[in-house]
Amino acid sequence: MKLKHDVAAVARQFLIHGEFVSAEPYGSGHINDTYCVVFQQAGVPVRYIFQRINHNVFKTPVALMENIQRVTSHLTAKVADQADATRRVMTLIPARNGLAWRRDVEGNHWRAYLFIEKARTFDAVESVEQAFQAAQAFGQFQKMLTDLPSPRLHDTIPDFHHTPKRFAALEATINANAAGRVKLAGPEIEFALAHKSITSILLDANLPERVTHNDTKFNNVMLDDATGEGICVIDLDTVMPGLALYDFGDMVRTTTSPAKEDERDLSKVRMQFPMFEALVRGYLSTASGFLTIAEKQLLAFSGKLITFENGIRFLTDYLAGDIYFKVHRVGHNLDRCRTQFKLVESIEKQEAQMTKLVEQIG
Ligand code: ADP
Ligand code: GN1
Ligand code: MG
């Protein structure tokens, strides 16, 4: 297969022993270009993950890589005593120029990681145990970063979870109607506009800034094949200062519904209470010690907000002509928006019980 990039040439620029064998596109992320690269080392094929950083989304790739270096070094020191330490934290492979990244001839920034073997990611949750494990792992991730030494991390995407600004961007995109699609998304636009009042609730709650992951979707945690343990949190591009609740909210968004994010049969999309309970228990098992009472009180709400935020981001991108998220079919972003709004409705119906459950557990 002809690849979009000359990954073989890039791969040779990193400090990896042996002979380059192959490179294949990998994973189902919406942003970066990810490749599984194989090198033959002493007669054994060894896999690596290579990624081209999407510089349309991440405007400051060098600052982003500085964040990832600081965060992975800190986490590596924390897990050093544990068995299987190199499967518990992402390990960057240095480039031959001594940096943690490499620019190619086209100006793209690349990085390489050890491939975490005997573990995998899932695009949709399959059991309450998986939900528990994912939440425990993301909570542990936040906990290990509570003492990251200063300075403050770079904002790799400013205002990434500023929901009111996301809402304003939607309104501007509706008014511009650049792709002529406004007429194709009437009910979705109506739903979005009717929810404006929820957008500022987390920002107005005066919650502490922490080091957070900011993209805790279920397929950004690797689950161990043998034990099911949430063994490694991946996709570290958006690790930056944020609210703990953005992370919990995105777990609710991606881990409580049995349907994939782009499911077209909306009858399959729903907030499953037992999954939510597993998330709360898993997350609090590692995060309870550092969360404030105010943060705990807003756990259930955060799921609704982040699901809504993603819904309006997908809707905005659909209306703008699909310029941000990778799409694989016509109307893909609108399909994604619809699952998010369906899930918001499902959460709204159960929000009172969800809040009550958090009170009981927390
Ligand atoms: P994106 O930002 O595009 O979502 P990710 O960093 O999440 O990219 O990577 C895409 C997929 O590649 C992940 O869902 C995971 O399946 C796989 N992956 C990423 N890093 C590793 C790794 N170090 N080891 C094994 N698989 C990985
Ligand atoms: C993107 O990179 P990936 O696919 O894990 C996006 C998230 C969205 C998510 C929706 C940098 O995540 O914010 O919630 O898609 N990442 C960025 O699936 O915008
Ligand atoms: Mg990802």
- DSSP string of 250-307? HHHHHHS-SS-TT-S-GGG----HHHHHHHHHHHHHHHTTT--HHHHHTHHHHHHHHH
Task: Point out the ligand 2 atom lying closest to the alpha carbon of residue 237.
Answer: 11
Distance 201 CA to ligand 3 centre (A): 27
34 ligand 1 Cβ < 6 A = yes
Q: Whose CA is nearest to atom 12 of ligand 2?
A: 30
Pairwise CA distance, residues 50 & 46, whole Å: 13
Nearest Cα to 260, choosing from 315, 166, 338?
A: 338
Q: What distance in Å separates the CA atoms of residue 294 and residue 56, rounded to the nearest whole number?
A: 36
Best of 235, 239, 254, 260 to mutate for ligand 1, by most ligand atoms within 8 A of CB? 235
Q: Is 52 helix (H, G, I), strand (E, B) or coil?
A: strand
Cα gap 145→331, rounded to integer Å? 39
Put simply, whether the predicted model's pTM sits higher than 0.85 gets the answer yes
Cα(287) to centroid of ligand 1, in Å? 24
Question: Burial code of 57-93, b = ≥16 C-beta within 10 A, e = fewer?
Answer: bbebbeebbbbbbbbbebbbebbeeeeeeebbbbbbb
Q: Is 49 in the pocket of ligand 1 (CB under 6 A)?
A: yes
State whether the beta carbon of 263 lies less than 6 angstroms from ligand 2. Answer: no
Residue 1, pLDDT score? 74
Phi, psi of 231 (to 5 degrees): -90, -30
Reported as a single tens digit per residue, the pLDDT across 246-293 is 999 999 999 999 999 999 999 999 999 999 999 999 999 999 999 999
- Mutation to probe ligand 1, out of 121, 219, 238, 239 (largest number of atoms < 8 A from CB): 121
**Residue of the nearest CA to atom 7 in ligand 2?**
215
Residue 72 in contact with ligand 1 by CB distance below 6 A: no
Please work out whether the CB of residue 64 comes within 6 Å of at least one atom of ligand 1.
Answer: no
pLDDT digit string (tens) for 303-345? 999 999 999 999 999 999 999 999 999 999 999 999 999 999 9
Cβ(261) to ligand 2 under 6 A?
yes
C-alpha 5/C-alpha 253 separation (Å) is 33
Which whole-number Å values give the CA distances from 108 to 2, 5, 130, in the listed order?
Answer: 18, 10, 35
Structure token pair of residue 249: 């909210």
Tally helices (H) and strands (E) across the chain. Answer: 11, 11
pLDDT at residue 148 in the model: 98
**Ordered per-residue pLDDT tens for the chain, 362 residues:** 789 999 999 999 999 999 999 999 999 889 999 999 999 999 999 999 999 999 999 999 999 999 999 999 999 999 999 999 999 999 999 999 999 999 999 999 999 999 999 999 999 999 999 999 999 999 999 999 999 999 999 999 999 999 999 999 999 999 999 999 999 999 999 999 999 999 999 999 999 999 999 999 999 999 999 999 999 999 999 999 999 999 999 999 999 999 999 999 999 999 999 999 999 999 999 999 999 999 999 999 999 999 999 999 999 999 999 999 999 999 999 999 999 999 999 999 999 999 999 999 98
Q: What is the number of the ligand 2 atom nearest to the C-alpha of 57?
A: 11
The predicted pLDDT at position 196 comes to: 98
Express the helix, strand and coil content of the chain in percent, nearest 5 each: 45, 15, 40
